[in-house]
Structure 1
Amino acid sequence: MAQKAPTAAERASRLKLMVFDVDGVFTDGSLYFTAEGDAMKSFNSLDGHGVKMLQSVGVQTAIITGRQSGIVAARARELGITHLYQGVGDKTVALAELLEATGIAAGECGYMGDDWPDLAVMRRCGFAAAPANAHPEVIQRVHWVAEARGGHGAVREVCDAILRAQRRYDELLAAALGG
């Protein structure tokens, strides 16, 4: 008899590490450039709080992105994300380095991405997620899809889903309510 595949919530309940792409996940994917060639990105504060909540319950967080940006480094510092891999050509290599460094198994790792460069790394993780506006080929292959778009609360939504799956959401909400 075939074994039933784990649900997205079952997969999320095992996570010890959640990894995020940046463009199209933490941001809406738009790239803004000044006349001098300086790049700008916009981040969602709800997403940042979601990351901090994951960290508060012991889920480590990381970023693996193909672009190199001082803006991303600054945002990672602000959020306490110490595992930052930028300018990555092969995200599976960065993931292998990250798992080695943390001692966490691939099955205990999640990844949220939005486009083809994320597909191979997502397949290696125990939990794969995407924003609502991810490429259709990505959406077909993940375990969980946010209702929100990248840069508009998708990261917060997946953080909340992980917290619920790990039965930590209600205690964090109670603490926020002063109870």
Structure 2
Amino acid sequence: MDDAIREKALKIRWIILDVDGVMTDGGITYDAHGLETKTFHVRDGHGIKLAQRAGLRFAIITGRESPVVNLRARELGIEEVRQGAKRKIEAYDEIIGKWDLTDEEAAYIGDDLIDLPIFRRAGLSAAVADADLETRGQADLILSHPGGRGAVREFIEIILQAQNKWKEVTERYYS
């Protein structure tokens, strides 16, 4: 891990996630009744739980609205959920203000142009492997995993390793 990324990751207290294209692969599926469904990767969820054990907190900011997002957030203990955020930076500012955070204490993972204003402000920004070219070019870090396929977990591991907390939260799996 490069020193600049390590320095930024050391300051992170909150990880803010996009949903479509980050927590999911970006596909939108409707059932026979017209209800939207989403597929989330179990390793991303496990990574969120590991990070929470290490004291990190989570928020979701998404441009779309779906009851499935609230369900997944509740299941994972994600404290802040902002759906229908057409200007995500406004939702970001609300979260930062509510929890008395500095930009340096927030990490953000995204996949598309709508995420760029937050990339410019967050202390650490990451683009999933299959993010669009411009978004990858603006990120502090380009992840090796695509959205919905373990990218969130990868980002969490990078942060926890930089903070020397990874071994602590995973040691029970090795004993």
TM-score bracket, normalised by the shorter chain, equals over 0.9
Instruction: Please tell me whether residue 46 in structure 1 is matched to residue 43 in structure 2.
Output: yes
Give the deviation of 1:104 after TM superposition.
1.0
2:108 to 108, 111, 114: 111
User: TM-score, normalization: structure 2?
Assistant: 0.96
| TM-score of the pair, normalised by structure 1 | 0.94
Percent identity over the alignment?
Answer: 39
In the alignment, which of 68, 72, 75 is matched to residue 75 of structure 1? 72
Give the structure 1 partner of residue 9 of structure 2: 12
Which consecutive residues of structure 1, in runs of 5 or more, have no partner in the other structure?
1-5
Structure 2 partner of 1:3: none
d(CA) in 1 for partners of 2:119, 2:125 = 5
- Cα distance in 2 for residues equivalent to 1:135 and 1:55: 29
What is the alpha-carbon distance in structure 2 between the residues aligned to residue 142 and residue 106 of structure 1? 15
Give per-residue Cα distances to partners, 1:80-101, cap 9 Å, x unaligned: 0011101111111111110111
Unaligned runs of 5+ in 2: none
Deviation at 1:34, TM superposition (A): 2.4
**What is the aligned residue count?**
173
Match for residue 56 of structure 1 among 53, 58, 61: 53
Which residue in 2 is equivalent to 1:138?
Answer: 135
- Please state how far the C-alpha of 1:57 moved relative to its aligned partner: 1.1
1:121 aligns with 2:104: no
- 1:37 is matched with 34
3-state SS in 1 of match to 2:91: helix
> What is the CA RMSD across the aligned residues, in angstroms?
1.0
Query: Secondary structure of the residue that 1:7 maps to in structure 2?
Result: helix
